[in-house]
Amino acid sequence: MRMNKDFEISVAPMMDWTDRHCRYFHRLISPHAKLYTEMVTAGALIHGDAARFLRFDKAEHPVALQLGGSDEAPLARSAEMGAAHGYDEINLNCGCPSDRVQSGSFGACLMNEPAHVAACIGAMIDAVDIPVTVKCRIGIDKEDSFEFLDRFVGTIADKGCKTFIIHARSAWLKGLSPKENRDVPPLNYARVHEVKEKYPELRIILNGGVTQMTRIEEAEGLDGVMIGREAYQNPYWLAEVERKIFGNHEVLGRDKIARAMIPYIERQAAEFDTPVKSITRHMMGLYHHQPGAKHWRRALSNYPYEDGAGSEVIEKAIADKDAAVKVHADARKE
Ligand X SMILES: Cc1cc2nc3c(=O)[nH]c(=O)nc-3n(C[C@H](O)[C@H](O)[C@H](O)COP(=O)(O)O)c2cc1C
In the complex, least distance from residue 232 CB atom to ligand X, rounded to whole angstroms: 7
Tell me: does residue 35 bind ligand X (CB under 6 A): no
In the complex, least distance from residue 3 CB atom to ligand X, rounded to whole angstroms: 18
In the complex, least distance from residue 66 CB atom to ligand X, rounded to whole angstroms: 6
Tell me: does residue 14 bind ligand X (CB under 6 A): yes
Residue of this chain nearest to ligand X (CB atom): 228
**Contact set for ligand X, span 207-236 (CB under 6 A):** 207-210, 227-230
Residue among 22, 94, 96, 109 flagged as catalytic: 96
Window 260-289: contact mask with ligand X (x via CB under 6 A): ------------------------------
**Contact set for ligand X, span 76-95 (CB under 6 A):** 93, 95
In the complex, least distance from residue 289 CB atom to ligand X, rounded to whole angstroms: 18
Closest CA to 126 of 64, 169, 170, 79: 79
Tell me: does residue 96 bind ligand X (CB under 6 A): yes
In the complex, least distance from residue 125 CB atom to ligand X, rounded to whole angstroms: 19
Residue 119's φ and ψ, nearest 5 degrees, are -65, -40
Kindly indicate which of the ranges 69-77, 205-213, 248-256, 292-300 contains the residues binding ligand X, using the contact rule CB under 6 A: 205-213
For ligand X, the binding residue among 7, 9, 10, 13 (CB under 6 A) is 13
**Contact set for ligand X, span 109-148 (CB under 6 A):** 135
Window 55-74: contact mask with ligand X (x via CB under 6 A): -----------x--------
User: What is the C-alpha separation between 20 and 274, in angstroms, rounded?
Assistant: 12
CB of 18 or CB of 311, closer to ligand X: 18
HEC letters along the chain: CCCCCCCEEEECCCCCCCCHHHHHHHHHHCCCCEEEEEEEEHHHHHHCCHHHHHCCCHHHCCEEEEEECCCHHHHHHHHHHHHHHCCCEEEEEECCCCHHHHHCCCHHHHHHCHHHHHHHHHHHHHHCCCCEEEEEECCECCECCHHHHHHHHHHHHCCCCCEEEEECCCECCCCCCCCHHHCCCCCCHHHHHHHHHHCCCCEEEEECCCCCHHHHHCCCCCCEEEECHHHHHCCCHHHHHHHHHHCCCCCCCHHHHHHHHHHHHHHHHHHHCCCHHHHHHHHCCCCCCCCCHHHHHHHHHHHHHCCCCCCHHHHHHHHHHHHHHHHHHHHHHC
CB of 101 or CB of 324, closer to ligand X: 101
Active site residue 96: yes
In the complex, least distance from residue 148 CB atom to ligand X, rounded to whole angstroms: 19
* Residue ranges that bind ligand X, judged by CB under 6 A: 12-17, 38-39, 66, 93, 95-96, 135, 167, 182, 207-210, 227-230
Active site residues: 96
